[in-house]
Amino acid sequence: MAHYALVGPSETRRPRLGRPVGGSRSAAVGGVALLLPDGEPMSGRRASARAHAAMLPLGRGLVRAGRADGLAAHVVRYRGRGWNGTDAELAADASWAVAEAVRRYGDVPVCLVGHGMGARAALRAGGHPAVAAVLALAPWLPEDDVAAEPEPVRQLVGRRVLIVHGTNDARTDPELSFRFAERAKKANRDTCRFEVHSDGHALRQYAAEVQALTADFALGALFARPVARPVTDALAAPPPLGLRMPLAAGFGDSYRRS
């Protein structure tokens, strides 16, 4: 069994929202996207600057697409980079970030957008009353047969949930996110999952399509915008069809040209 040494306990640090993505805001905020970077299963190290930076392009794309609706976006700065077993520190930091967004901006809907371990944090923190939607990119999820308890899904009831996973992800198992989506769909019909064929954990090969899907889904959930037909179909389709929806090359082309 592996043993992990926790260096620099995160109890001495605090999570932060930092500046809004895209600079300061003067217009009224109508909704908030909180971006949750990837992390590690066990670690006491400080949060990764690289993982934080990796979420910025997604945040900038969301802000551009949601400017007319007053979207604000923040990349959450965790206390540390480790989930750390039952402490679930990244999920706790995500929950704090939702409460902080409500404190700053008032009664506005929140969309949690997480990648890897941050996606697990987004799914866990999705039960906050302010959360309207959860978007989990390449989520890190534990094996059901080795976890003390199955990853919870009841907190997602009443939220719109999208999971996106590359079929060639060598870091987080796409089959585990499919099995999680199956359980989540039973509790919450507004759950769907897209597969990005041949893409890996970072979802770089189809980054433009993933960003377009993220914007389409998040803005639809936050501002009641119409969503693309593939998203509507995925939400309506029974398992497994709506949980293995392929993300087509060129998704969002017409949207990006507008």
DSSP the chain: -------S-GGG---B--SPTTS---SPP-EEEEEE---BSS--SPPPHHHHHHHHHHHHHHHHHHGGGTEEEEE-B-S-SB--GGG-HHHHHHHHHHHHHHHHH-S--EEEEEETHHHHHHHHHTTSTTEEEEEEES-----TTTSSSPPP-GGGTTSEEEEEEETT-SSS-HHHHHHHHHHHHHH-SSEEEEEETT--TT--TTHHHHHHHHHHHHHHHHH-----HHHHHHHHSPTTGGGSEE--TTTTHHHHH-
pLDDT of residue 22: 86
pLDDT of residue 253: 78
- Sole residue written with tokens 């893409």: 199
pLDDT of residue 143: 85
| CATH T-level assignment (fold) for domain 16-257 | Rossmann fold (3.40.50)
pLDDT of residue 12: 72
pLDDT of residue 149: 80
Q: Where are the domains of the chain?
A: 16-257
For 26-49, b where at least 16 C-beta lie within 10 A, e where not — what string?
A: eeebbbbbbbbbbbbebbbeebbe
Residue by residue, pLDDT tens for the chain (258 residues) are 344 444 455 567 899 998 999 875 657 999 999 999 999 999 989 989 999 999 999 999 999 999 999 999 999 999 999 999 999 999 999 999 999 999 999 999 999 999 999 999 999 999 999 999 999 999 999 986 655 688 999 999 999 999 999 999 999 999 999 999 999 999 999 999 999 999 999 999 999 999 999 999 999 999 999 999 999 999 999 999 999 999 999 998 755 444
